[in-house]
Amino acid sequence: MKRLFSGIGSKIVLPYLLLTLTVAGIGAFVVVNLVTGTLHERFNNQLLDSGRVVAESMVRYEEDRLAVLRQVSNTEGVPESVA
């Protein structure tokens, strides 16, 4: 075991290998956090847009229903013709 770590090559390479792995790990952590944050923000924006679309379509639907109701309420003779 002592012979494995006694060479000058291992004394130089091992610290740089550990440093490289540490920097790579930190970089991967930062990238994953950025990507996850971006995806979360994108998902929230899609939910908000979907909510707006649904609300607008419900408003249009209710306006159409109210227009029909106003036309029906101003009609004369409907109860007599139905009966």
Q: How many domains does the chain have?
A: 1
Structural domain includes residue 51: yes
CA distance 10 to 21: 16
pLDDT tier at 74, thresholds 50, 70, 90? confident
Query: What is the model's pTM?
Result: 0.53
Structural domain of residue 36, as residue ranges? Answer: 8-72
Alpha-carbon distance of 50 to 82, in angstroms, equals 42
Q: How many helices (H) and strands (E) does the chain have?
A: 2, 0
Query: Does some domain include residue 80?
Result: no
**Look-up of token digits 């740089």:** 16
Is the pLDDT at 63 greater than 90? The verdict is: yes
pLDDT digits (tens, 9 = 90+) for 2-44: 565 667 777 888 899 999 999 999 999 999 999 999 999 999 9
**Residue 82 within any structural domain of the chain:** no
